[in-house]
Amino acid sequence: MREVVRFLQNGRVVELADVRPTETVLDYLRLRRGLVGTKEGCGEGDCGACTVAVGRLVEGRLVYQPVNSCIQFLGMLDGAELVTVEDLAENGQLHPVQQAMVDHHGSQCGFCTPGFVMSLFTLYHAPERQATRKTVTDWLAGNLCRCTGYRPIVDAALEACFNEIDDAFSRRADESIAALQAMEQDTRDVFIPQAEGGFFAAPASLDALAELAERHPQATLIAGATDVGLWVTKQLRELPQVIWLGRVRDLDRIEETPGGVLMGAGTTFAAAHPYMARIDPDLGELWRRIGSRQVRASGTVCGNIANGSPIGDSPPALIALGATIELRRGEDSRTLPLEAFFIDYGKQDRAPGEIVTGLYVPRLDPNHAFRCFKISKRFDQDISSVLCALRVTLADGTITEARLAYGGMAATPKRAEIAELALIGARPDRPSTWAAALKALADDFAPISDMRASDAYRKEVARALLAKALVEIGGTPDERTRVSGLRSGEVDHAA
Amino acid sequence: MNTQFVGQPIRRVDGRLKVTGGARYAADFNLDEHVYAVIVNATVGLGRIVSIDQAAATRLPGVIAVISHLNAPRLAYHPHKGAIDPATGERLHVLQGDQVRFYGQPVAVVVADTLDQAERAAAALSITYAAKRPAVDPSASDTTEIMAEASKGPKAYYPADTARGDADAALATAPVRIDAFYDTARENHNPMEPHATVARWDGDRVTLWSKTQFVVNEQAEIAAIFGIPTENVQVISPFVGGGFGTTLRTWSHVTIAALAARQVGRPVKLALTRKQMFFTTGHRPRSLQRVALGATPDGKLTSIVHEGRGETSRYEEFIEALTAGTGFMYSCPNVRTQYRIVPLDTGTPNHMRGPGEAQGMFALECAMDELSYELGIDPIELRRRNEPEIDESTGKPFSSRSLMPCYDRGAELFGWAQRNPAPRSMRDDREYVGMGCASATYPVLFSPTRARARLLADGTAEIEVAASDMGPGTYTSMTQVAADALGLPLDNVRFSLGRSDFPPAPPHGGSQTMASVGSAIRAACAAVLEAAARNREVRPIEAEGSAQRDPEVAARFSMHSFGAVFAEVGIDSDVGTIRVRRALGVYGAGRIVNPRLALSQCTGGMVGGIGMALMERTMLDARDGRLVNAHMADYLMPVNLDIDRLEAHFVDEEDPHVNPLGVKGLGEIALVGMAPAIANAIFHATGTRLRNLPISIENVLTA
């Protein structure tokens, strides 16, 4: 057992024993350390002003990811390297991304600038990236600027972020890697006790996690905390007992099996992205628009499932693909189809003390066709109004099986079972054969009106998206298919 | 005029500080022994506080004080109105009584050793209310419009009524007519930096490290509220993380910070959360407008009627330029404008980038576009046929006016000639494509300003003005002006701002900083050079200078900036999603002091206009006045990919009349015109005319 949290900053190991379970990295920096270069803009991971870089070892390489420090808990830095805007300049010499921001007038009021600089720093260090505007705008979608109109920032990124990596961090990478490896080799479970039975725990093995979760069924499990962080910063909820999954060995594994993709509960959206894009370009395109680069770097696919949001972006697509999840409580494991996990609004089929340990996503068979579409008001980093995903099995152009799932249409991500039945026997290339399926959606769903969309719009779009999917499946393969972009278009694979 | 630096694309002098995290914003100031204050906001929209149970909160660790109307000292609240405060009504007196005027009104403040403790204690306060249903919808039947006191009479700055000719009669007989209603949403400024104040008392003197676009007003306002001499208040605000108008006024949290610091006898840091900013730091009022146009078949305007209503609070009459542009935009013998306000149970609105013009020009410019289709005349040609020779509302010539040169240049750059004039005629694969344009305008303001210049023995100079830099680049542009005026290299000039003990500047709003502060700096530099020439021995030597508009020139000319804005949208034919494919603005804004700063400021303003057109809307629950989307996840603002291609250009314009520098200002006009250009493009793409902002995908699909 280890009763301190350890992370690397500026080449030195920082050890903290006084870590409150839900103390954020941002509060630690600004309030405890007086490092006020990192800014708070929204306190909910929407604006990116608080972005810091967090470096971790991925297959022996040091990879920096942008993280919203306002909703990341301090204990989650354990075993990582923390980089803030104060750390970039070297002996008074600006980092290349800082210099480019100065040269291109990337700042106006400057309040968002430290966040942009840190996002650019992670792009500068990203292992594979294409020097395109699209790469840049995808990377920066989680950073809001209200002054510049973004162009100078994008120009700065294009100039600075696609050159040979040569900065203080690359030059001392060997030492940093050694320091991170040394921390990684300490496989003791982290447990930081608090008054009145509270704790921050970071077990190092799945067995320890299962045992801890069973013993403390009321504890809050966190992986990336991109949602739970908001419970704390927005709802001021007290979470006295927090169990972080981030240190559990191999829980972030992701692998391609003959039939599909198997991922552990610690797999982030960013890590899963290339695997999902290989299953289907639509899925890759959806992944690109889940949250922001910061959210995808921390948030996990299984976390998105486990918290059961009716508008979570990944579940409808995963349900249509026939994904299954794996749960464990103590020694007992079970597997169930993803759609069965969502019982009702805010209610999932998860017993107290039970943990989601993994997800299996089957690959598409040659006789499958798949489409998914996300509709939101803002293209980037916006909550879906409606999300539609369809997988059909085709025999000689006729649908023999259909899995059609929607987000934003009901209290949970949900299959349109009546429409699915109506699709059997239909031919995508003959619209008259699927008219009944479009109609059936009205029997499947009675959506609500809220600030994101009216019920009428949701119904209309649900039909339009199903029609769009079928038209595309029945059409020529290179047909332009989506709200934006080409189906054959490039997907950003940089994790 | 020496222009070695003015007109050059000089790099920001504060760029390095900003990219290293070294720039200090209000909440970044840490004082010895400071404690934290957290405001508690009313959870009813109207009524009064019945009880406050603070026992549980007081028992929590670290809590130093819980202050509410029950125990707060009575503050002096001496009369004081700054240039940006509503002329009629009285500002909110905070923590002085049990009345709740709007949802989110501060009703208590908790002070504790740490922020976490203060937040917890604030959440632990138990407050009961006697609540009534508030009126928050200006279009509802339970509201009444009034004529603002300050808009009464022909000399009012924003007159309630203006008329020339007989617009209604001319409309009735016009061969071609447009008559339509427009509705623009309530918006919040949402600068990236939340408001914050750090307050420290030393005896009866208080120092405020505070976010403000108007430091001398914050000083005077806090002095008046606390009943202390103005010079006892020092305001320090070196960096402002965006404003767009929200920090022009001194809002209640500044008073609360100072009050709390005095009560607990220690420095207090108070930062608003993003949500709290929606409650108490002003908003762009929703507008309800009618525009009616009459024209001859060959497109000559014969009548313009523009009636507008805007929201205000119950306790102050906020007015803005809602109908101000209508009188002089186009040549027309018969024009009538009417402007009323609707008091609601909300906080007082305030100026937001392009205040009034943004909404008013949305209605007027959409109506002009509608008229162009009715007439079958190209929208640019329609404006050309109605281009006035003078300002017909005042009879004065324009000091300069480049509207048509802006359209001509913009049409060429944008490729307007490729536009098929028929609605719903252009497609790019599955997208309907539309192109639209609109005019923009904003007055050229110039307010009295003083500046101080000091020459040092080492050959460098220091310039001081109580100005602000919320982002446009005041630090940089003023350094350019001073370097030219003094004949010094840029590196030898240090310009300081953001302190109330510097010579006073007008509000950093209304696009007047360059004109006002720049001209005062030129005067101060000239004065110090003269003093230095007289006395070659004494260094440092300093002098002050001032600048203001010559009333004689003001009486002779009508002074406004003009611009032409173009937008191209793509509408998904299946699901109605709207994408701004590209946008372009061309502005006639006088001399451009720094093209890089100017370009960035304009594209930023255009992005704000995209937000106004397609996303930004503060929603209130009619049952209790609750703000439904008071956070960034649901108050959407444009992000990178919403903006495919944005360009801003400037036409050459020399205007010797507006001010000594010949500058007209850019901040506001850059936002004006974008929303109607987009709405007009959406009509062109779809054939559906949408008159409510923001335009949402469902309007397009289900219209």
Residue A394 maps to which CATH number?
Answer: 3.30.390.50
pLDDT band at residue A476 under the 50/70/90 scheme:
low
Closest Cβ–Cβ partner in A89, A98, A457 for B701: A457
Chain A residue nearest residue B469, CA to CA: A109
Shortest distance between the Cα of B242 and any Cα of chain A, in A, equals 5
Q: How far is Cα B588 from Cα B653, in angstroms, rounded to an integer?
A: 6
Bond before B694 cis per omega within 30 degrees = yes
pLDDT band at residue B389 under the 50/70/90 scheme:
very high
- Would residue A166 count as lying in a domain? yes
Q: Hey, are the CB atoms on A108 and B193 less than 8 Å from each other?
A: no
Domains of chain B and CATH, by start = 31-132+192-242+247-280 (3.30.365.10), 149-187+284-444+556-702 (3.30.365.10), 447-548 (3.30.365.10)
For helices A96-103 and A151-160, what crossing angle results, to 10°?
Answer: 140
The 3-state DSSP class for residue B209 equals: strand
**Residue B700 clears pLDDT 90, i.e. is over it:** no
Q: Over the stretch A129-170, which tens digit does the pLDDT of each residue have?
A: 889 998 999 999 999 999 998 999 999 999 999 999 999 999
Q: Is the dihedral of CA B466, B467, B473, B476 positive or negative?
A: negative
Q: Over the stretch B627-651, which tens digit does the pLDDT of each residue have?
A: 999 999 999 999 877 777 899 999 9
Which two structure tokens, joined as six digits, stand for B194? Answer: 């939340």
**Residue B529 clears pLDDT 70, i.e. is over it:** yes
**Residue A492 clears pLDDT 60, i.e. is over it:** no
Stronger pLDDT, A480 or B169, i.e. the higher one: B169
Chain B residue nearest residue A96, CA to CA: B19
CB-CB neighbours of B4 under 10 Å: 13
pLDDT at B702 (0 to 100)? 60
pLDDT at B163 (0 to 100)? 97
- Would residue A490 count as lying in a domain? no
DSSP string, B258-280: HHHHHHHTS-EEEE--HHHHHHH
Closest Cβ–Cβ partner in B20, B24, B643 for A150: B643
> Does residue A16 sit in the same domain as residue A154?
yes
Domain range for A389 is 368-474
Q: How far is Cα B504 from Cα A237, in angstroms, rounded to an integer?
A: 46
> Does residue A203 sit in the same domain as residue A271?
no
- Would residue A480 count as lying in a domain? no
> Does residue A339 sit in the same domain as residue A464?
no
Indicate the pTM of the whole model. 0.96
Name the residue with tokens 């959210």: A295
pLDDT at B642 (0 to 100)? 76
pLDDT at A400 (0 to 100)? 98
pLDDT at B698 (0 to 100)? 74
Q: How far is Cα A87 from Cα A117, in angstroms, rounded to an integer?
A: 11
Closest Cβ–Cβ partner in A36, A43, A88 for B28: A36
- Would residue A492 count as lying in a domain? no
**Residue B170 clears pLDDT 60, i.e. is over it:** yes
Q: How far is Cα A95 from Cα A89, in angstroms, rounded to an integer?
A: 5
Q: Hey, are the CB atoms on B640 and A154 less than 8 Å from each other?
A: yes
Q: Over the stretch B10-40, which tens digit does the pLDDT of each residue have?
A: 999 999 999 999 999 999 999 999 999 999 9
> Does residue A12 sit in the same domain as residue A155?
yes
> Does residue A342 sit in the same domain as residue A463?
no
Which residues of B fall within a CB distance of 8 Å from A110? 14, 17-18, 23, 239, 241, 471
Q: Which of A432, A386, A423, A385 is nearest to A404 (CA)?
A: A423
Which of A362, A391, A409 corresponds to the end of one domain? A362
CB-CB neighbours of A432 under 10 Å: 8
What CATH number should be reported for the domain holding residue A236? 3.30.43.10
- Would residue A487 count as lying in a domain? no
> Would you tell me which residues 502-541 of chain B have a C-beta closer than 8 angstroms to some C-beta of chain A?
none
Which two structure tokens, joined as six digits, stand for B424? Answer: 């719903």
Q: Which of A153, A444, A28 is nearest to B640 (CA)?
A: A153
Q: Over the stretch B402-447, which tens digit does the pLDDT of each residue have?
A: 999 999 999 999 999 999 999 999 999 888 999 999 999 999 999 9
- Would residue A479 count as lying in a domain? no
Q: Hey, are the CB atoms on B701 and A461 less than 8 Å from each other?
A: yes
DSSP string, A191-210: EEE-GGG-EEEE-SSHHHHH
Q: Which has the minimum average pLDDT: A3-12, A46-55, B296-305, B694-703?
A: B694-703
- Would residue A493 count as lying in a domain? no
pLDDT at B464 (0 to 100)? 98
Name the residue with tokens 């089957």: A362
ipTM of the complex: 0.96
Q: How far is Cα A202 from Cα A208, in angstroms, rounded to an integer?
A: 9
pLDDT at A379 (0 to 100)? 84
**Residue B703 clears pLDDT 70, i.e. is over it:** no
Closest Cβ–Cβ partner in B20, B574, B646 for A464: B574
Interface size, chain A vs chain B, as Cβ–Cβ contacts under 8 Å: 237
> Does residue A272 sit in the same domain as residue A417?
no
> Does residue A46 sit in the same domain as residue A149?
yes
Which residues of A fall within a CB distance of 8 Å from B696? 377
Name the residue with tokens 């007289």: B534
**Residue A483 clears pLDDT 60, i.e. is over it:** no
The 3-state DSSP class for residue A119 equals: helix
Total residue length of chain B: 703
Asked if residue B453 lies in contact with residue B545, where contact means CB atoms within 8 angstroms, the answer is yes
Residue A14 CB contacts under 8 Å (≥ 6 apart), including other chains: A6, A7, A8, A82
Q: Hey, are the CB atoms on A109 and B242 less than 8 Å from each other?
A: yes
Q: A193's torsion region: left (phi>0), alpha (psi -120 to 50) or beta? A: beta
Q: How far is Cα A117 from Cα B19, in angstroms, rounded to an integer?
A: 7
> Does residue A355 sit in the same domain as residue A374?
no
Considering chain B, what percentage of its residues have pLDDT values greater than 70?
Answer: 100
Q: Which of B361, B334, B308, B290 is nearest to B174 (CA)?
A: B334
Which two structure tokens, joined as six digits, stand for A335? Answer: 């597997």
Question: Active-site positions of B?
Answer: 668
The 3-state DSSP class for residue B77 equals: coil
> Does residue A176 sit in the same domain as residue A200?
no
Asked if residue B381 lies in contact with residue B295, where contact means CB atoms within 8 angstroms, the answer is no
Q: Over the stretch B466-484, which tens digit does the pLDDT of each residue have?
A: 999 999 999 999 999 999 9
> Does residue A116 sit in the same domain as residue A145?
yes
Q: Over the stretch A419-429, which tens digit does the pLDDT of each residue have?
A: 999 999 999 99
Q: In which element (H, E) is residue A229 found?
A: helix A228-233
Q: Between the CA of residue B146 and those of A466, B313, B323, what are the distances in Å? A: 50, 12, 16
Mean pLDDT estimate for chain A = 92
Chain A residue nearest residue B618, CA to CA: A451
> Does residue A343 sit in the same domain as residue A470?
no
Mean pLDDT estimate for chain B = 96
- Would residue A495 count as lying in a domain? no
Number of domains in chain A: 4
Asked if residue B5 lies in contact with residue B490, where contact means CB atoms within 8 angstroms, the answer is yes
Q: Hey, are the CB atoms on A85 and B20 less than 8 Å from each other?
A: yes
> Does residue A456 sit in the same domain as residue A381?
yes
Q: How far is Cα B543 from Cα B448, in angstroms, rounded to an integer?
A: 17
pLDDT band at residue A482 under the 50/70/90 scheme:
very low
Considering chain B, what percentage of its residues have pLDDT values greater than 90?
Answer: 95
